[in-house]
Structure 1
Amino acid sequence: MSNSLIIPCLRYRDAAAAIDWLCSAFGFEKQVAYPNPDGTIAHAQLTLDGGMVMLGSVGKVPTEWGKLIRQPDELGGVETQSAYVCVHNADTVYLRARAAGAAIVIDIKDEDYGGRGFSCRDPEGHLWSIGTYNPW
């Protein structure tokens, strides 16, 4: 591969519901979802305008990687990182996210560094920042 890619990876207790919510709230499209035998999600890929996030279910028996990850509610509702989703129209996504029940934690505004955006939490408490600022 000649180009490097950075793809955020998230875990959800109800990954199937998270996939539906992320598609509804932010406009992601489900590229693929591989189920575990128990019906949870082993691995899923969601795309948006050439970007991607990968996600899967929190397992009853933690994987080697899963042992290194905690959910926001296990950390008092804080995150140690978050995804920034670059969009063409932050106001449109803001309205979709609010309609889908996103907890807006930083209201939509024009940023000093350029662009317009907001931050919100999804139903499981993961922090997402959405905006029009594109550093490329």
Structure 2
Amino acid sequence: MRNEIIPNLRYANAPGAIDFLCNAFGFERRAVYLDERDATVIQHAQLTWADRMLMVHSINDTEFARAANMRTVLQAGGPTIGLYLIVEDVDAHADRARSAGADIFLGPVDQPYGGRGYSARDPEGNVWSFGSYDPWATTGVT
């Protein structure tokens, strides 16, 4: 399955973020494109989660970044988006993330709308939530 919405995250330490996302949350590297002049700068990385993709890149002073007024969590003073991923075993996933250094700030807990979930911050403050609740399973329309 191909998904047409691909979150894109900027990191001050993109190589470290990629390692963390793979070790803590279970992403896999699909492609990593380094800057030709500086191997510590990630121009573009593709990480996969099952049949989903996340793009990661280093903070770069590009025309796009300036025009869009792009900010990291630190520059913005807090997260501006949260990402939710469905997992089968919430508690095992939270244990893995905690062992890899994730800041688990909520849960795992049973949710009033169904399922079980937890929320964590990555080393640069992006908010990630993982749960067994599958919003695709119900429409919520009455």
Using the size of structure 1 for normalisation, the TM-score is: 0.90
**Offset from partner CA, 1:74-109 (integer Å, 9 cap, x none):** 232x21111111112111110011001111121210
Q: Which residue of 2 aligns with 1:44?
A: 45
Shift in Å, 1:4: 5.8
Q: Secondary structure at the match of 2:135?
A: coil
Q: Which residue of 2 aligns with 1:94?
A: 94
**Percent of aligned pairs with the same residue?**
47
Matched, 1:63 2:52: no
Distance in 1, matches of 2:56 and 2:105, equals 22
Q: Which stretches in structure 2 are left out of the alignment for 5+ residues?
A: 137-142
Q: Secondary structure at the match of 1:125?
A: coil
Q: Could you list the structure 1 runs, at least 4 aligned residues long, displaced by more than 4 angstroms after superposition.
A: none
1:130–1:4 CA distance, 2 compared to 1 (3 A): closer
State how many pairs are aligned.
131
Distance in 1, matches of 2:3 and 2:74, equals 32
Q: Which residue of 1 aligns with 2:73?
A: 72
